[in-house]
């Protein structure tokens, strides 16, 4: 990764990188041997700005203990990725990200995973 000093440039870089990788993820899910068993994508992140534009739904983690555990495990990544990590420390809260498989395939591949009825 290039050493980006500007926070806006970092955000744009990450957004474009994730956006460009989602079609490959959709193709992987579509061609996976257990594709019928896959229902969606689930992730936990502290870098959640703009996730709705990528098609994810964000939900807070309800369990305080689990949220604290995730905060501690994700904090090193946050400290390395932000130029002034202690300035907005309280803003960085881990959240769940969800995207259904159907939404991923329709949005990124133009493919509907459900069988079509022949009339």
pLDDT tens digits, residue range 32-52?
Answer: 999 899 999 999 988 777 788
Residue for token digits 């689990």?
66
Name the residue among 42, 67, 39 with its Cα closest to residue 56. Answer: 42
Q: Distance between alpha carbon 30 and the CA centroid of its chain, in Å? A: 18
Per-domain residue ranges of the chain: 7-108
Q: What is the average pLDDT value for the chain, to the nearest integer?
A: 81
- Mean pLDDT, range 77-90, rounded to an integer: 72
Q: Is the pLDDT of residue 119 over 70?
A: no
Q: What is the pTM of this model?
A: 0.73
CB atoms under 10 Å from CB of 85, counted, come to 13
Residue for token digits 């369990």?
63
Q: Which two tokens stand for residue 32?
A: 């996976």
Q: Coil, strand, or helix at residue 25?
A: helix
């Amino acid at each position: 990764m290039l050493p980006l000093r500007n926070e806006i440039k970092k955000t744009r870089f990450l957004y474009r990188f994730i956006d460009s990788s989602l079609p490959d993820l959709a193709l992987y899910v579509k061609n996976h041997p257990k594709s019928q068993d896959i229902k969606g994508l689930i992730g936990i992140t502290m870098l959640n700005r703009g996730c709705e534009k990528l098609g994810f739904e964000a939900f807070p983690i309800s369990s305080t203990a689990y949220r604290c555990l995730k905060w501690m495990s994700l904090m090193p990544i946050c400290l390395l990725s932000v130029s002034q990590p202690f300035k907005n420390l309280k803003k960085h809260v881990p959240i769940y990200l969800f995207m259904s498989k159907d939404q991923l395939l329709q949005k990124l591949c133009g493919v509907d995973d459900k069988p079509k009825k022949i009339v």
